Structures are given as structure tokens and as C-alpha cells.
Amino acid sequence: MEKDTILVVDDSDIICSIVKGILETPSLHIYIVHSGEEGIIAAKKLHPTLILLDIIMNGIDGYETCQILKSSDETKDIPVIFITGNNDSDSVLKGFEVGAADYVSKPFIPEELKARVKVHMQNIKIQRELQFLMKELKEMAVTDYLTKLYNRRYFADQLQVYVTQYMLPIFLLLFDIDNFKKINDSYGHNAGDMVLVTVSNIFKLLLREEDILSRWGGEEFMICLPNISEEETIDLANKLRKEVSKYTFNCDNNTFQCTITGGIIKYDRSISAEKNYSNVDQALYLGKSSGKNRCIYNDPILESTN
């Protein structure tokens, strides 16, 4: 079971022991320090779920400690509940002004302390769930649901960044799985899905961090290779092709192999992105029509002069 941690910052051993006795459970760990300075260090190290912070302490007091925590990117989002014997309106207001989420008065009423902590823990749980959902939604907007590769729209957006902001050579690779319909017809759509995922993973293993890999549509994959030479591009394309051709697929007691065909172009900034896509698609078509399981480098400028 994953534990949440509450950091208690109080210079009184008795208060710390009381808090620990009231709150600690198998799923909630209580970590104790005795000064504001120690609290700041511990907060950055532990990233606790919640901080219980005494106001009056030797050294820097709770107000200053809270201000420092809230001014740091590492700790600004951790909720702080002040522990205070001064529950007059001025003290409480000052606590909220420096960033506290709540306060609890000493001496503690155990059920009140539990209730206040419970409310904030529940809020944190809801925030985590919302963050997780937002992350999933963001990923769904830019990735293909099956292969988890970037989708066509995201690829186009990222390519545009490379084209406009970095005046480096860019090559495009467009790969297509050969005879993919035959794989689906012979072994079923589960086998086809497995091939798509496996080919995606082979590409991921061999490409560089700066390369952009996308599922272009159906059984096609588009790759952007920035800051690379023509020779390196052709070598990499053939390496990807050969690795796929060597792989043995196993699905539902069926064993088979497949190949891929690739088209390669150097991105031409003098024409539109769509025209570049058309050129690399043409290179792929030449590979398909000339026997498959090969990579074709198609220079449209040279082609137009022949």
C-alpha cells in the first residue's frame, strides 16, 4: 500500500507525539521535525502530501516558513495547516495571507484535527484524480490509441516547429507495413494490432530522442529526422526495415514474419508541408511498386530533370 506523508513542524516533542498518535495509520506516515529550517529541507526532500506547521518556534517562525515554502516551485503546491495557540482573527488572517490552507487550534480536539486533515487529504485525492484525467485527455489528443505514438496532427505541429525555428536539415521517412491486409485476413485483427504495436516499439528503440515518430494512418508510420545527413538517414531507414523483417511474430499459436517499405525525402522548405508529404508518399509508392521490403530515396528535383 502506498503511504501518504504528513510533515509535522513543531518544536514541542509533546505536541508532535500527540499529532502522531492521533493521525498515524497504516496508510498515513507522520514525519516530524522541530524547526522551520528543518521543515523547509524536509518538505523539499519528502514532498509530503500535507504539512502541519506550528506558528511560534525558535528560529524562523511558522509564517516565514510558510512564505518560503510557497515561494518555491518544489513546495508551493503542498497544503499547509497551521498549528496555533493564537486563534484570534489577526493571527488566523495572517496565516491565510502567507498561504496557509487552514488552521487548527491547540490544545487539540482529536476529532477536529482528524476532520480538518481528512478534508484536505480528500481534496488532494480529488486533485490527483483530476490531474491524472487531464494527463490522459492530453495524451489522447496527441497520441494514437493503439500504438501510443504521436498522431498525425501532433506530428504536423511538431514538424512545423523544427521547420520554422531550426534551420537544420530535416528528412522525412514514411513506412508502410507490406501486405497488412493479408496479415489481418490470415491471422485475425488481433495479429494485425500486435504487428502495429511491435513495429512501433522497434522504431522507438532505434530512433533518437529528437526524432518524431507518428502513426500516420492505418499501417503507415511517418518519422521526422532533424539534423542528420542523407547517408545517415538512408542507413537508419534500412536498419529499421531490416530489424522489422528479422522479427518473428507470435499470435494465437501462429508464427509469421512481415516486412516494411519506406519512402525517404529531404524536407524542402520552399514548398508546403503538404507537398513534402506528397513527395515522401510518392517515394513510398515507388518502393511498393518495385517489389516492397525496400527503402526508396526520392529527390523530386532530380526526378523533374530526367
Q: What is the CATH number of the domain that holds 80?
A: 3.40.50.2300
129 with 182, same domain: the answer is: no
d(CA 21, CA 24) in angstroms, rounded, equals: 6
Which domain covers residue 68, as residue numbers?
4-134
pLDDT of residue 90: 82
Catalytic residue among 97, 209, 219, 230: 219
235 with 190, same domain: the answer is: yes
**Where residue 306 falls among pLDDT bands split at 50, 70, 90?**
very low
- CA-based nearest residue to 173, from 287, 256, 70, 272: 287
Of all residues in the chain, the percent with pLDDT exceeding 90 is 74
- pLDDT digits 0-9 by tens, 160-189: 999 998 888 999 999 999 999 999 999 999
127 with 224, same domain: the answer is: no
Q: Where is pLDDT greater, at 135 or 74?
A: 74
The pLDDT of 52-71, averaged and rounded, is 93
Strand 102-105: give its sheet, edge to edge: 28-33, 4-9, 50-54, 80-84, 102-105
Is 117 among the domain residues? yes
d(CA 174, CA 130) in angstroms, rounded, equals: 37
- Assign residue 88 a region (left: φ > 0; alpha: ψ between -120 and 50; beta: otherwise): beta
129 assigned to active site? no
pLDDT of residue 299: 61
pLDDT of residue 46: 93
196 with 269, same domain: the answer is: yes
Mean pLDDT lowest for which of 48-62, 89-103, 159-173, 245-259? 89-103
Q: Where is pLDDT greater, at 88 or 39?
A: 39
Count of the separate structural domains present in the chain:
2
Is 186 among the domain residues? yes
